[in-house]
Amino acid sequence: MRSSKIVHVISAHAEGEVGDVIVGGVTPPPGETLWEQRSFIAQDEVLRNFVLNEPRGGVFRHVNLLVPPKHPDADAAFIIMEPEDTPPMSGSNSICVSTVLLDGGLIEMQEPVTEMLLEAPGGLVKVRAECKNGKAERIYVQNLPSFADKIGVPLDVPGLGIINVDTAYGGDSFVVVDAAALGFEIVEAEAKEIARLGVIITNAANDQLGFTHPENPDWDHISFCAFCGPLSETETGLTGKSAVAIQPGKVDRSPTGTAVSARMALMAAKGQMQKGQTFEAVSIIGSRFTGRIVEEVQVGGRAAIVPEISGRGWVTGTHQHMLDPSDPWPGGYRLSDTWGA
């Protein structure tokens, strides 16, 4: 089989959300920092298009590129490629990357617990993996500092009118809406409508509210819409369902680690959750992430939390993505039947 390139991938998912990991065939992008490398990938788009566009990818796929870390203390580094964004951090993708590193033998597994320090474009994240019989069974990720941005502000949404929303950062930026107030129970049959409406709400929030990270001015938009269900008390804290709409129009199958972090930051700001409690987030397919507040910090002069999220990841296969020199679509293609307008 002839090919002008071969990209080696270990595929994985975290609680249902796909997060493939490129382990070979791609040289590190230029840049003095991981953020500069991430920015090159976002602007260049060659690698993004090759692995995310059809026929190799699809709107359901995220792909992570392993690169040598820039920080001297980090064990590994990764750059996240989502359908529309190349974000600072991702909870489900960090769980997939950690699972691939350990289950794939790239980092030596220590049973019963392996600790790693990973470098994401947005900063360092501490990882603790519970390991047994050669399998990383549960991954704990200490996420980037997370904070509430706007609480209870009006948003004029086309087709809906004015609704009250929150905005927050949990390693990525969110507009957060009350799912029940919009008529959603967060069940599988609602996925298409949640995805459709979530894109409309996200676009409206970017137009009317905006977002800029106080310490990273390059991150100046809202990425996702989180539909959050009602909270219930548990023996150790709280639980609640949620569904995150991802551009250009899909629903995260996992509970979304950055959304769990953002929601905990909002709950802390509203006095609903304290350090020491847990928050169990349930996705649209019934999968679960557990979150807790590790400590309270400051980000750009505003109150923030350091969240920890945990979940499970599984390797689903290995792939060698190739490009035949005669292929008329070397960068792939996107159609509006799945990718939106």
Q: Please identify every residue annotated as catalytic.
A: 90
User: At 148, is the secondary structure helix, strand, or coil?
Assistant: strand
CA distance 35 to 212: 16
Residue 210 is classified by DSSP as: -
Phi, psi (deg, nearest 5) at residue 51? -95, -20
Asked if 260 and 236 touch (Cβ cutoff 8 Å), the reply is: no
Rounded CA gap, 52 and 62, in Å?
7
HEC secondary structure over 264-333: HHHHHHCCCCCCCCEEEEECCCCCEEEEEEEEEEEECCEEEEEEEEEECEEEEEEEEEECCCCCCCCCCE
> Are residues 244 and 281 in contact, defined by beta-carbon separation less than 8 angstroms?
no
Judged by phi (left if over 0) then psi (alpha if -120 to 50, else beta), residue 69 lies in beta
Three-class SS state of 224: strand
Whole-angstrom distance, CA of residue 153 vs CA of residue 58: 34
Return the ∠ at Cα 287 (arms to 286 and 289), rounded to 5°.
130
Longest dimension (CA), the chain: 61
Give ∠ CA 254-21-33 in degrees, rounded to 5. Answer: 105
CA distance linking residue 123 with residue 129, whole number of Å: 19
Output DSSP code: residue 216: B
